Amino acid sequence: MDQPPEEDSFPRPASTVHKPRSTPFVLRPTRLGLAFLGLILVTLVGCINYALGLGYAVTFLLGGVWVAAAAHATRAGRAVTATLDAPAEAVAGTDAAFVARVTSAGTALTARVRVWTGRRRLEVAARVPAGETVSVPFPVPAPLRGTLALSRPQVAALDPLGFWEARHALPLPEPLTVFPAAEMDAPPPPPHPSPGAGEGSGRTCGDEDFVGLRPYLPGDSPRQVSWRHAARLGSLLTRETDAPAGALWSLDWADTARLTDPEARLARLAAWVQAARCTGASFRLTLPGVTLPAGTGEAHARAALALLARQTPLPVPPPPVRKAVRPSPAVPLPGAPLRFTLFALAVALAPAALRQPVWVTLLAAGVLGYRAARTVRPLPAPPTLLLGLAAGVAAALLSARYGTLLGREAGTTLLVLLVALKAAETRTPRDARLLALLGLFVTLTHFLFGQGPLVAAHALFSVLLLLAALAVWTAPGVREERPLRASATLALQAAPLAALLFLLFPRPDGPLWQLPVQDAARTGLADQVSAGDFAHLAQSRAVAFRADFAGALPAPADRYWRGPVYEAYDGVRWTQVRVRGPAPSVEVSGPAVTYTLTLEPSGRPWLLALDTPTALPPGAFLTSAFQAVTLRPAASRTRLAFQSRPARLGLRENAVRLAFDRELPSGDSPRAHALGASWRGLAPQARVEAALEFLRTGGFTYTLSPPTLPERDRVDVFLFGTRRGFCEHYASAFAFLMRAAGLPARIVGGYLGGEVNPGDGSLTVRQQDAHTWTEVWLPGRGWVRVDPTASIAPARVNAGLMTALLHPTAAAAPAPTLFHRAALRLDALQNRWNTWVAGYAGPEQRDLLRRVGVGRMGAFLSLAASGVLLGLALLPALLAARRAQPTDPAARALHLLTRRLRLPRAPGETATAYTQRAARHFPEQAGILDDVLRAYQLARYAPDRNAEALRELRAAVRRVRRGRKR
């Protein structure tokens, strides 16, 4: 049968233009990439549950980095090519010196070349500059003589962070014959006298007498080449010589009979062959069932060693032993990358020092510092038992301090300790990469405590450092030249996708589950009130909430932000109660006020609202005490929309509640009780005025530092003794007097006033604005707000707390200073940040969609947009899969043949060369492969290319039986 011509020898139709074929590759995430994706999913669930707007931003940035890394890996996969060159020979018990030659055609890249020997995977890494070829030694262990067969050779091009790899299959190297190891200090071979010694008789191959010339064969010694004839004839000729048979080395299996181990006998014969090889002596090798004729030279020695390597029975490798404990690596981690990783981790952990116990910070810093010092000096590694003991003791101390390990403060503090202790036992590149991933997770936990611009700046810097730390561990022994530049480039490329996901990803209106969230910061409001509770809060300028009004701001006298209502009094404390019965009446009047509150996290169920809320956020309701509460307290900053209207509350009130709100402890504060009882003969409104007049004319002082009141008769001591107090002193005493006068009364906690920001018109209410007032039920009017503090310090209502303390009767606050105006502008920027970044949630998203004209689509549009963005995220993998299939139908059929045979096609290998190589691997299918080649050439290059030829090619490929995985 005529040999089919090569591909390039076929004439091609003039109208057909074929582009150079790119080598097929498969794009897949690495184990690190899958772990990184898992981290993204975990943090996304946390952001959804706790409504962390800034957490969404960082999570989507990491997701965009994951997608951008796939694009980089795709580009590297198109540029990389590689070959795996086998060594000339290999000896048992040593490493076969394979050489991987990796070439990058367009971009600098990191590549991994890997093969499998049995179940063991071997891998080497290389950093390849753009347009260059790098040769990397690839030692393959060859423990036993015989044939060393490699399987599944491939080269994988990585992205800068090692999240993705583009895998190319490499041509399968021919099996390598592993020679037996020569015996050390072997005795010389025994002499064998030649029969019929004498001139002209008993001669054999040797190097003494010239016999003639023959064509040169590979392996012939250059000393035997006749260079004179080669110069005259133009071809290489080798001189043949012989020697008397007595000078021949006769290496016989029987000469090693004293050795009982067959491998030891082969090792001695190998030593004799090597000795003959070194001295150039002629030898003959006799083995059971086979004899190698006498000869000399390199080729003859290799043929002898190959016979020894294939001598049966072949040695059986021992079964693999599974070790229970992973041994420590013999080579320590490189110091510079590990120090950089520890520095990035320290930056990620730094903000926790502001809120965790000092001993935790010192312990974490000491552990990280000691691990960094071990990269410079040979210090001993801490025992694993000691690290475990330290973790247990730390957990016990934290549990004793916080009362739990599941809360926000306790959980994050314990996480910091565990990450630091993990750094102490870092031994492998895998451990170092895990440290970087843990650092990313710790970075996102900081958003549970704050989401301001400074926190965002730290998070961005920390993320860039930790991604750069991943880049330095892309491949063992190979580092990215500029890791921080690589991480910054990927972050910039990821920013557009991250911004789209941040704007369009659906935001649920409630958490997925509830965990105990401890809040070290006081919210200003508590479940109970006693004299002195609010005084210390007046010195806190922490923001409680911000209010943005749709119209004009309410007047200062109407800025009472209603919170918990306290009705039960035991002589010391006022607490909340739940009264069963019919709901009280609400009769609204006046214009509606629409506003949005940005609430700081408090962990409390109540919401703050102006009297009286008529429209509440989803999931909120109004209690019978007209208090807005929610079933799911927000664990993070939350934006909620309200609507309030003036109203008369409780004209039809539950009689049980009214009776309860008249009760006083028996025998408590008799003087105050008698004073209130003396007003019972007056009209209800007159009783209120009498009590206010008593406070206005009684010499009372509004102060932040009132004297401590006793547990017994404290109202008497305050009204007739100290006469110095804060808002809760006056509210408690006034409610006591009203109940003594026969009127139902209760205390309402909340906030009063707020600071108007001229920059954006918002109202900032701080913790120092926490306030209490009273409500008195009057017939025909219902519950009426009465603020006794306003009788003592009217400036508390009109001008704010600080003015009221200095000038209690002032009508307005003084003009703000230059510094104060600058602080207000900064606060306006903070409010915008909270609205559109930290507090960007479902309502803001829906509002944004309405502004761009697609608000009617609602959640469906958000889900559809998320699906489109998810498709964009998977686009690199889809493009890589499409790129792996050739565009020409005939070439695609040939590619399918390589998949069926599990025998990859080498770059640049013609169809003829490939089918010939495949026929050597699968001789039983040689005829079918010839049919495939003929059909391929007709379908690809014939002038009259038609569908029939292509169908024949596909049918021929389907007849090929699938090869076993190699």
Centre a 10 Å sphere on the Cβ of residue 733 and count the other Cβ atoms it contains. 25
| Active-site residue, from 727, 729, 769, 931 | 727
Contact 519, 500 (CB under 8 A): no
**Is 47 a known active-site residue?**
no
| Contact of 255 with 189, CB cutoff 8 Å | yes
Residue type, 258: R
Closest CA to 110 of 170, 157, 155, 68: 157
DSSP 834: I
787: annotated active-site residue = yes
CA gap 567, 579 in Å, rounded: 10
Length of the chain: 966
User: And the tokens for 88?
Assistant: 């000339």
Q: How far apart are CA 87 and CA 948, in angstroms?
A: 46
Report the C-alpha gap between 139 and 556 in whole angstroms.
Answer: 82
| Closest of 159, 30, 38, 29 to residue 437, by C-alpha | 38
Hey, which residues does 282 pair with through a beta bridge? none
Decide if 771 is catalytic: yes
Round to whole Å and give the CA distance between 66 and 458. Answer: 21
CB neighbour list of residue 796: distance below 8 Å, 6 or more residues apart: 702, 727, 752, 753, 771, 789, 790, 804, 808
Determine the residue type at 135: S
Give the pairing of strands 782-786 and 770-778.
antiparallel
Q: Please give the C-alpha separations between residue 229 and each of 207, 214, 219, 226, 288, in angstroms, as whole numbers.
A: 19, 11, 19, 6, 41
Give SS3 for 188.
coil
3-state DSSP helix/strand/coil % of the chain, to nearest 5: 45, 20, 35
* CA 786/CA 783 separation, integer angstroms: 9
- Report helix angle 358-373 to 408-424, nearest 10: 20
Q: Which two tokens stand for residue 213?
A: 């010339």
Place of tokens 């012989």: 242
3-class DSSP state of 498: helix
Whether the CB-CB separation of 318 and 154 falls below 8 Å is answered with no
Query: Any idea what the Cα angle at residue 946 is, between residues 944 and 948, rounded to 5°?
Result: 130
Helix or strand (DSSP H, E) at 734: helix 727-740
Of 242, 668, 769, 787, which one is the catalytic site residue?
Answer: 787
Considering 72, 771, 895, 931, which one is annotated as catalytic?
771
CA–chain centroid gap for 537, Å, is: 40
CA dist 457 → 95, 398, 447, 896 (Å)? 51, 29, 12, 51
Angle (deg, nearest 10), helices 429-445 and 453-471: 170
- The residue written with tokens 């207000």 in the block is 824
User: Which is nearest to 70 in space by CA: 106, 102, 37?
Assistant: 37
What type of residue sits at position 212?
G
Displacement of CA 160 from its chain's centroid (Å): 15
Bond prior to 612 in cis (omega within 30° of 0) = yes
| 3-state helix/strand/coil string of 5-48 | CCHHHCCCCCCCCCCCCCCCCEEEECHHHHHHHHHHHHHHHHHH
Catalytic residues: 727, 771, 787
